[in-house]
Chains A and B, each alone.
Chain A
Amino acid sequence: MDIGHDLMLLENQLPFFVLEQLYSLTGMDDKFLAITFNYFEIKSLRNMCPRESPKHFTDLLRSFIISPSKLGLEKMELDKQVKHVYSASQLMEAGLEFKDSNDSLIDLAYSKRGIYWHMNIAYFLHTSLHNM
């Protein structure tokens, strides 16, 4: 049983403000966002607790993933085009080597020795990113 996974599924989302409003009735001191972060945080991705409340848990996951990135995606304009680059398999065919890094999930680093990428995400990718 994986409750956390169920909570993340897009079809199970509840508006976060509803949770916050009801939580305020408990009289607890901690912020509900901090309590949520404590549960969903993925330390290996060096997530940071967002400053603003998400729309729902799936949105929280999105914000976790982009928060450690150096690309400044949080402030990116919505209509900005994403430029398509070569796929990983095309790059490998061209002779580039992929190496594991501890950086953000979406930042790639290129050096003479290859491309550095956070590779420890196989399980995470399939179940969660697909859902986003």
Chain B
Amino acid sequence: MEELKLKCVKGFINRTQLPMRELAARIKILEEKIRSCYVEPIKYKINYFLKMILVDSSFIIEFLLRWHKLEDWLEKDPSYLNQGCKWILGMT
């Protein structure tokens, strides 16, 4: 999981062609709006919290994008299918 997460986060940064500080700045702009989504006060230091949001969001976006173009990704990385198996397999 951690390996896939790292691959996806790197993949996302590559895709945007933006430096990490620029991505962090984009999240920082949304800080108030993000805070208002959580009922309980955020227990982490805000910069750490925003960094977690950035890493998790980057992972999720890249993960879903690779699934969206699955055939292309299976050529590049055949292990992707096992790592990212579709949720509730067999229910679709």
Contact = CB atoms under 8 A, between A and B. Distances in A.
Contacts of B73: none
A128 B88 CA distance: 10
Contact of B87 (A2, A15, A19, A55): A2
B33 A42 contact: no
Interface of A is mostly: helix
B91 A35 contact: no
Contact of A36 (B16, B53, B54, B64): B64
A124 B61 contact: no
B71 interface: no
Size category of the B interface is: 20 to 34
A17 B23 CA distance: 15
Contact of A43 (B1, B37, B63, B92): B92
Size category of the A interface is: 35 or more
Nearest to A4: B87
A123 interface: yes
B1 A3 contact: yes
B42 interface: no
Given A4-B88, A21-B26, 8 more contacts: A15-B34, A19-B60, A22-B26, A22-B57, A26-B65, A38-B64, A39-B68, A124-B88
15 contacts: A3-B4, A5-B87, A18-B30, A19-B57, A22-B27, A22-B57, A22-B61, A23-B61, A26-B15, A28-B65, A38-B68, A39-B64, A42-B92, A123-B88, A123-B91
Interface of A: 1-5, 7-8, 14-15, 17-19, 21-23, 25-28, 30, 32, 35-36, 38-44, 55, 123-124, 127-128
